[in-house]
Chain A
């Protein structure tokens, strides 16, 4: 008999329920109103009263309504058919919902139980298996999708039987496992997992080291992120957080991309819905939507479900990681998630921490970021979840609890800056304040030497030094005036501007410039750094400015042209001639 209860109080979406039996923290329950069953989650228990947060509007709810408890936490269904889905924060399939408006209490399954899937066994009878071991394989959007031993099973099991190669639905038993006592456990292609628990069915979690190519120069070159790495993008509104996130999700070299639109604008999600089915994955040539799952809980959707949405997305990511895939998870924006926590904590009348956020905010953030990572599975294969979250700091002030909490948890910091955005230097990532801790990993350096080139990291460091120097010189020019500094200073400043305009800035809306493969990045970086090493001769500072503007202009035209096309080479020739005009004897010797 599951526990039942009666509504005793309503404060916005917090409902107090008097229960007649045991309940557990985070247990899911349903409030039975006249029209609908409203899903809710237990977030506090005081004596016989359970405080539940309702995932829907509580308008019209009355004291005395019945409540049914479900005996489980918030779970997601995991199985083939999740790719290309548009889900809400509770994993309902938005496309299956009828009508233009969302109706409260309408829940739809993300999976299709009628569809046939081609199943090919990978394990055989007699095999010893444990949670997350691969039993078989099916094809989802032409990608292999592993069918695994249910994650909830603990200990060792023996495969008693497994079905032959063939077509099965999600309802069919595809294998029977035996536990140590000899009990039979039937397994289907679907399993469930509570979203708030990290899925840890892997052997180990080493330090990540493989570059995750994003095609965004300022990230790949200056602040690289790795497969299984974590990063965050804080920035005031209007600095291009979302454009940058979309660019990464379109271009990154990942097998699966999960976008969690958490409390953000609906039109931005619509942009993904509209564009992704049309756009091609630059790495496979197939449609982007085929590798994408969208978890959309826009800002006008119920707040409690917003909190759940990031966990839903993370759990789905963990599921695909267990198949040995490279998963990229993007959450926009984690601040909205933190605000949802704040609203609830406030209604529970907890003592507030800074800015009225709950006291354990930074622990919650760290716990969440900790679920990402590069793992070695039990069978020796590897998988990864790369997680990039955006943060929307209140007032653009980075000293607020969400930014500070995230800074402790994430390893890459892509600081979007108002000043750069104002002068239309996009992506507006501040090249000096941003960092990637992965650059310091010896494993990473070794990997880059092997896969890109030996010169790469020294060249990147040289570039960063010059940018820093350029900034210092600019400050001096601002204080002392153009005439107040030696011509060399102007040259240094303009060399750093060449790097800024040609390498750091990138036009996300230009078909060619938007995506810059690592090979092209390397070519351009070499070209630009080559220019910065040259010695030039000038008579006055206006000459310097005019000259370098021409250099920048040609290099940018190269960025806009197809790599190594005739046009590209034509501009390159122009550049060589322009350089000859001004380089001094020193270089030719």
Chain B
């Protein structure tokens, strides 16, 4: 980053902590970028003439006489069509060896959409995965995370969803990605021949953690360009938001803030909401959909990160291994898509809502039957039938390797239900039963 003419260079740092440094400087704007010894930093606090900078790369080896230059602007990204197909770091600099893309410079983390200018999301995103399309239907403009333990195949499912969804652009925001996962995404996207639809902002485990704080805003600024200027449907993948929140807590700790629950900053909710709320359906057809990953520790969703996330996002997707069928399934109990009501039974067949609820309720009965079995009680005929149903439902519908269209999902569910249950056990409106339930001889 070259120094421009007439820029004042400061060389007297008065205080250094692990992530910040302070110095006396004048005419500095809040949140302005600066370089400290060539490394990027951002203004986080100004008291009188003392300015505190958060140094993204950390302050290891920083000298008190290092050169500090203020850049007069907040972090920004050059947006334009040339972003397509490229890989960038957290600062928006190319890491794929290509040229710096041209375009308008836009500050990242820009203003919010006026809620009255939003349009109600109404377009179904088909993924072919019945555990998602049938029970937790996704809608464009939605924001939804995978809540998953680190050993679960969330990145694979997410990549599948991204590739099958009919979107114009996919933007990957990788925070603390392992190099292997980064290469996985790169490979799967180039093998699918869709690399020119994809833009990636990547911070790997090898980069300083505080840098990842810029990743979501970079990805979403690019997304806003395509969704607003080009009216495109943009899908943003953010993985892993837990590592993002960890970086937030590092910074707030260095700033001497009082931590709230689980050592997270008190502003965690607002910080996460600012990112997720960028998901939007614009009136002119463009949309931003966010699918994120929040890794859990031992499935604990009461931890501050998943907990706050759950209150912000429009549902969550849980993966779990169903040992009865030996497959990874989308957990129908803990997963939820809040926006599904906008499309199911409207963009899909009329029986969708009731059928979905009936099947999930019976799946819950099967879980109870299983508990009974494990506790050594005799099973009733109904319990036995529930268990049989659950196995078929799990492997033919819930498993993540399913890839069929929504109508086929509905027909399959009816077929499985009809094989095991009587009409009065379903609690479905009579009209729908008459119309769609296959007759079993």
Residues of A at under 8 Å CB distance from B?
8-12, 16, 57-64, 86, 94-95, 97, 99-104, 236-238, 263, 265-267, 269-271, 273-274, 296, 298-301, 303, 333, 336, 339, 342-343, 346, 352, 355-357, 392, 394-397, 422-424, 481-483, 501, 509, 541-542, 545-546, 549-550, 552-553, 556-557, 560
Contact = CB atoms under 8 A, between A and B. Distances in A.
- The list of the 7 closest CB pairs from A to B, nearest first, reads A395-B302, A299-B273, A300-B277, A237-B310, A356-B260, A481-B377, A9-B47
Given A100-B282, A356-B260, A542 B382 contact: yes
Nearest to A103: B111
Interface string B30-61: 11100000000000111111000000000000
Interface residues of B, number: 83
B270 A270 contact: no
B357 to A, nearest CB: 5
B215 to A, nearest CB: 18
A286 B140 CA distance: 32
Given A11-B45, A267-B121, A397-B302, 11 more contacts: A10-B30, A62-B27, A99-B117, A263-B270, A300-B112, A300-B273, A300-B277, A333-B311, A481-B377, A549-B425, A560-B429
B261 interface: yes
A266 B279 CA distance: 9
B380 A266 contact: no
A299 B107 CA distance: 21
A267 B228 contact: no
Interface stretch (B163-171, B237-245, B333-341): B333-341
Contacts of A336: 269
B141 interface: yes
A542 B380 contact: yes
A392 B312 CA distance: 11
B434 interface: no
B32 A102 contact: no
9 contacts: A10-B30, A60-B30, A99-B114, A238-B336, A265-B314, A300-B273, A352-B258, A355-B261, A546-B382
B48 A274 contact: no
B348 to A, nearest CB: 14
B378 A482 contact: yes
A552 B427 contact: yes
Interface string B255-292: 00111110000110110011001111011000000000
B419 interface: no
B274 A300 contact: yes
Nearest to A271: B120
A303 B270 contact: yes
B25 to A, nearest CB: 10
A553 B427 contact: yes
Given A266-B118, A303-B270, A422-B333, A101 B111 contact: yes
B228 A59 contact: no
Contacts of B424: 549-550, 553
B307 interface: yes
A509 B312 CA distance: 22
Contacts of B195: none
Contacts of B117: 99-100
A102 B113 contact: yes
A541 B261 contact: no
Nearest to A545: B382
B315 interface: yes
B321 interface: no
B193 interface: no
Contact of A266 (B280, B333, B361, B423): B280
A299 B312 contact: yes
Given A97-B114, A301-B112, A509-B353, A59 B380 contact: no
Given A237-B310, A482-B378, A557-B429, A422 B48 contact: no
Contacts of A94: 114-116
A345 to B, nearest CB: 8
Interface in B80-122: 107, 110-121
A429 to B, nearest CB: 18
Contact of A62 (B29, B310, B375, B425): B29
B430 interface: yes
B161 interface: no
B259 to A, nearest CB: 7
